[in-house]
Amino acid sequence: MFAARKIADATNASLISIPQAIAERRAYADGAIGFVYPQYAVGLPKMVRRFILENAFEADYLFAVDLYAFIRLNALGEIAALMPLDYGAYLKTPWNFISMFSPPKDPGAVLAKAENKLGQIIDDVKNRRSKPIRPRNNIGNATKHFGVSQFKVTADCTKCGVCVNVCPANNIRLNGGIVFDSNCETCFACANLCPAHAIYSNKAMLKRRQYRNPAVSADEIAKANICNKNYGG
Ligand code: SF4
Ligand code: SF4
């Protein structure tokens, strides 16, 4: 969200939240339209793919910015296979895959580099520079390798509902206790933002530090991720 917000502020653009807009099925037309998203499990989020496929976009300048953590593969290529991109850029940010790794020891250093790179990206977008992306077929994300279908909660859960609210996929229900459905996108927002650090897919995860970009609050994430309840996978 921090990158989308900075690009929007610098270019005087409007922000649209994909989790909110995904089910509207409408046509977007503007001078420039950009897609700014985090990779989920080293791939293009399913909801971004679906948003692009189920809505229409017409612009003189189409761009995408892909926030990745470890390996970037070619998620931008998945978008380029769906629509011709005039410009695409990758932005390395701190990782939050706490099912497998602790967050970086110094996330501030990673964020500082990201801020620098983002400045260049903003300059490119403002000046409508071209950086075509080679299309590639969808290889899907690596969700199955992260064990998220086995998310559980410990007895520390206070039933506060934060995880329900921050989930962009409408995948968590508070039904006496916390219930995970089968539409997980592997964003790890729930696990990182749970105030009780009670969400896990393996016990080691409970010992790892949680991570949230300090520039974006849990409330802001929840507000952006208020989902159309028709969303599902
Ligand atoms: S955020 Fe954590 S404590 Fe709150 S309801 Fe979800 S699992 Fe329970
Ligand atoms: S918030 Fe949790 S349940 Fe929802 S998509 Fe992200 S990882 Fe999956």
Proximal ligand: closest to the CA of 174: 1
Atom number of ligand 1 nearest to Cα 164: 6
What pLDDT, on a 0 to 100 scale, did the predictor assign at position 37? 95
Looking at residue 73, its pLDDT comes to 79
Domain boundaries, the chain: 2-126, 143-224
Give residue 122's pLDDT.
Answer: 97
In this predicted structure, what is the pLDDT of residue 70?
80
CATH class of 143-224: alpha beta
Q: Is 48 in the pocket of ligand 1 (CB under 6 A)?
A: no
Protein residues with CB under 6 Å of any ligand 2 atom: 148, 166-169, 171-172, 180, 184-190
pLDDT value, residue 194: 97
- Whether the pTM exceeds 0.85: the reply is yes
| 54 contacts 21 by C-beta, under 8 angstroms | no
Low-confidence residues of the chain, pLDDT below 70?
138-149, 227-233
Per-residue model confidence (pLDDT) at position 233: 44
Q: What's the pLDDT at 190?
A: 95
What pLDDT is recorded for position 43? 84
